[in-house]
Amino acid sequence: MVDAYRGGHPWPLHSEKSALRLAERLEPDGSIAASAVDDLVRAVDTAQKSARDLGTEGLITLATSAVRDASNGEEVLARVHAETGIELQVLSGEDEARLTFLAVRRWFGWSAGKLLVLDIGGGSLEIAAGVDELPDVAVSMPLGAGRLTRDWLGEDPPTDAGVERLTDYVTDRLNEAAATVTKLAPFDRVVATSKTFRTLARLSGAAPSGAGLRVPRSLSLTGLHQTLGFVRRLPSTALAELDGVSPRRAHQLVAGAVVAESTMWRLGVRELDICPWALREGVILRYLDQLGE
């Protein structure tokens, strides 16, 4: 919940989260498991009731890669609507990248110049680049930390062979996107968003979240490589105890680190900045922009 108006800074007032992990709860045919759909319906209903109780004047309801890519995505959306009255709008991967890019542009401003933005979610990786408020290139790939953990890293901690196979897979999948994105290089500023990148930056020595949103944070490729070498040896229970690691995301950290390192290496990025704004803020900013249209 935010206090916001067109042209103003969106100030967060309240936040609630339900950990669903839909990208990890798929059946062999690619459909979201029935128990996961049950949890989704409950989460949407709870969020709707909270919004109503808090007196919100508008409600934005979106679904991303987990629902978008599921073989039963349409049925899931229909059930959510039938049982809650909420009609979830499914974002395309490219729109995810564009809206995240918008949030980063607004956070850093025009002085950031030509931007390259990276975002790792549970189901997908988004890359966007450009000089305006909307990017010239926006790419989405099914390389999310949750999805890859489910498909490639079955042991905890993962085996060396498993991590190497995953690294080869991610690097291969990045080739086409990297060829497109690097045509816009050089970039004035490279920025990463998402909990995955924030966690990796913290483990590499960046300031803790308690220091505030506006404290500069960065992540180098060297620091990331060292962090990956450390976290791949630990079980998720041990990772969950580290400062800056969310217990419910600890099991995804190795896959997220592999994607982050492979992406930075493939795009020739030696260091990047961390932005606290991401897709959520981009959606809010676009909504506010449209109020005056």
From first to last of its 293 residues, the chain has per-residue pLDDT tens of 999 888 888 889 999 999 999 999 999 999 999 999 999 999 999 999 999 999 998 899 999 999 999 999 999 999 999 999 999 999 999 999 999 999 999 999 999 999 999 999 999 999 999 999 999 999 999 999 999 999 999 999 999 999 999 999 999 999 999 999 999 999 999 999 999 999 999 999 999 999 999 999 999 999 999 999 999 999 999 999 999 999 999 999 999 999 999 999 999 999 999 999 999 999 999 999 988 65
The answer for residues whose C-beta is within 8 angstroms of residue 137's C-beta and 6 or more apart is 127, 128, 129, 130, 180, 181, 184
User: What distance in Å separates the CA atoms of residue 279 and residue 156, rounded to the nearest whole number?
Assistant: 30
Q: Which residues of the chain form CATH 3.30.420.150?
A: 93-281
Contact 185, 112 (CB under 8 A): no
Nearest C-alpha neighbor of 68 from the set 166, 145, 140: 140
CA nearest neighbour of 54 among 16, 86, 88: 16
pLDDT of residue 7: 84
The pLDDT, as a whole number, for residue 293 is: 56
* CATH number for region 2-90: 3.30.420.40
- Reported pTM: 0.94
Class of domain 93-281: alpha beta
CATH 3.30.420.40 in the chain, residue ranges: 2-90
